[in-house]
Structure 1
Amino acid sequence: MAKTKIPVYDIYSIIPGHTQQDLLMERLGPYVQKHQHLHSQHGHSFYHLVLFTKGAGTHTIDFTHFTVQPYQVYFMIPGQVHSWHFEGGVEGYLVHFSPAFFQSFLNDQQYLARFDFFKGDSEAAVLKIPATLRETVVQLFEHMLQELEKPRESGLDMIRTYLLQFFIQLERSTATGMRHNIPPQKQLLLNNFQQLIHQHYNTIRLPKEYAELLYITPNHLNALCQDLLGKTAGEVIRDRVLLEAKRLLVNKELTITEIAWHLNFQDNSYFNRFFKKNTGLTPEAFRKQFSH
């Protein structure tokens, strides 16, 4: 049902007339002025990042609030939702790129998942650019804009290399790159688990069922999640269901009963108990808090 979803944009639909399917990059100030409708909750089918160099206000990623600060950058992966409420003018840079944008360039199709800010955790996706790195970062973004404004041979490949420089330098300069030296096989297994949850959270709720799909034991899956995420496998599944509930509650066209049915809860009261236990709010109270 179309009405069960927050608006989700692809790179084509977010800007009518845009013809480049894998990349969109603009200065933030003019973009915000041209696209006022994008201030409310919406999702993307692409990767999205914004670097603020000036401005104030707030923005949310998957219902976590952040205060806008100069030289703050935030990252989003496909499927996440966000909104923003700026106070006065903002300046900076905005980049959208499709999942295929780097897959055609890098042999390792899971490469972006090595960065904590591209793992779908909103708390790890908002970073302050260190003062020592700001001039370098601005130069990288200006170089990318120049490649778009004056197209030359292999221009998109140059933009890819500039973006990768930005990701790596940011990882080196912040705490996000220092948590774990995660073995690739563990990271791949975790990524596969998270992808399975995204596909089946409505119908599969037990860790042992996901463990069977991954050909590992439930204890192995639980230890993996505890080690890499600090959560049990059951908590990871629960959090995904809870996130989808929040996304649906923002849509005023849906009743609480319809949302409970959509999320495969046995009845409305069970859904209410689940939501209040994990958020401290009833579904109706959450809707009033986040719907505008």
Structure 2
Amino acid sequence: MKKDIPVYSIDKLSLFKQKDIQISRFAPYLAVHKNLHLAHKHDFYHLILFLEGGGTHDIDFHTFPVRPYQIYFMIPGQVHSWSFEGPVDGYVINFSGSFFHSFLARADFLSQFSFFNGIVDDSVIDIPEEIQPKVKHYFEALLKESDTDSTFGLDMVRALLIQLFITIHRISDAEKSGKTSLHNYAILKNFQKLIEANYNTLRLPKEYAEKLFLTPNYLNTICRQLMGVSSGEVIRIRIVMEAKRQLVNLDLTVAEIAYNLNFEDTSYFTKFFKKQAGVTPKEFREAEIKRVNRANSRLGSIT
């Protein structure tokens, strides 16, 4: 296990001429980047549509089975790894945060899509059978545009990506519409954005409710309706996630991580982490080291 989790940029991974966008079939991409089975981060947006394959993939330490017509989305900074079984194929798209800036007036355009909110359970989606051909068509069109030097080629890629994002977003929107109003969903999105910006300093639901001009009880009700947990738990989940991301960096001691996350002392951080994660920070780190070593052994036996 490396002492510091690697962070990859598009220019290190790209096999293509554009530095801000990379589109490929997944099998050749995987053949070139075999090291990506280990835990790593990206400084770009990343999505994969699986068409065939098995095994598992992890996003922020949540494990998902690989299955055909599953698509997942990742934002910069999330931790990711793979453990595939047998041949795997599909499509992969990587793009920088600035890829849409010259095309759209809204700087926050991507944040309106639920799968780009950094919440793991919102970012892995099984495509319903009735729209699988439509989704596959978008990826094939994106591949074709990326391989040509046509006039407005990159703008066509951007337009196709937006159509793909809207199509996928409507799937999750349809699921959520039966649970609560779009107004409440918008409140949850704003709550999540505030947590992302303030989780290191604001820990109480009432502090966020005040910023959202809501009562703490109403905010709590929305979280339970949409996420099945309390507003306080939503905050704690984000803190634990950051702790896990830092724990896989072996250059950081547990005490340093506790300090980074604004805990009063290491003992309090350890108790908090164990209550939320079920293991101590040390036990989590040791388990991750063993998991990486097993993955390295499997890869070694294959190669």
Q: Do Structure 1 and Structure 2 share a fold, with TM-score over 0.5? A: yes
Written as runs of structure 1 = structure 2, the 5 A alignment for 1:91-110 is 91-110=89-108
TM-score by length of 1: 0.84
Aligned AA for 1:194?
Q
Partner of 1:139: helix, strand, or coil? helix
> Residue 265 of structure 1 aligns with which residue?
263
- Distance in 2 of aligned mates of 1:170 and 1:193: 22
How far off is 1:96 after superposition? 1.1
Give unpaired runs (5+ residues) of structure 2: 293-303
Written as runs of structure 1 = structure 2, the 5 A alignment for 1:203-282 is 203-214=201-212, 218-219=216-217, 221-226=219-224, 228-282=226-280
The answer as to 2:65 corresponding to 1:67 is yes
Aligned AA for 2:251?
E
How far off is 1:217 after superposition? 5.3
> Residue 79 of structure 2 aligns with which residue?
81
When residues 225 and 131 of structure 1 are mapped into structure 2, their CA distance, relative to the original with a 3 A threshold, is closer
The answer as to 2:40 corresponding to 1:42 is yes
The answer as to 2:196 corresponding to 1:198 is yes
Identity value in percent: 49
Greater than 6 Å deviation, 4+ residue runs: none
The answer as to 2:176 corresponding to 1:179 is yes
Partner of 1:101: helix, strand, or coil? coil
Preserved CA contact (<8 Å) 1:115 1:177:
no
- Distance in 1 of aligned mates of 2:126 and 2:50: 10
How far off is 1:243 after superposition? 0.2
User: Could you tell me which of 134, 149, 173 is aligned with 2:132?
Assistant: 134
Q: Residues 109-135 of structure 1, C-alpha deviation per residue, up to 9 Å, x if partnerless?
A: 444444332322222322222333333
When residues 7 and 191 of structure 1 are mapped into structure 2, their CA distance, relative to the original with a 3 A threshold, is farther
- Distance in 2 of aligned mates of 1:138 and 1:213: 42
How far off is 1:216 after superposition? 5.5
- Distance in 1 of aligned mates of 2:159 and 2:213: 37
How far off is 1:37 after superposition? 2.2
How far off is 1:237 after superposition? 1.7
When residues 72 and 278 of structure 1 are mapped into structure 2, their CA distance, relative to the original with a 3 A threshold, is same
Preserved CA contact (<8 Å) 2:56 2:82:
yes
Aligned length: 287
Partner of 2:73: helix, strand, or coil? strand
Q: CA RMSD in A?
A: 2.9
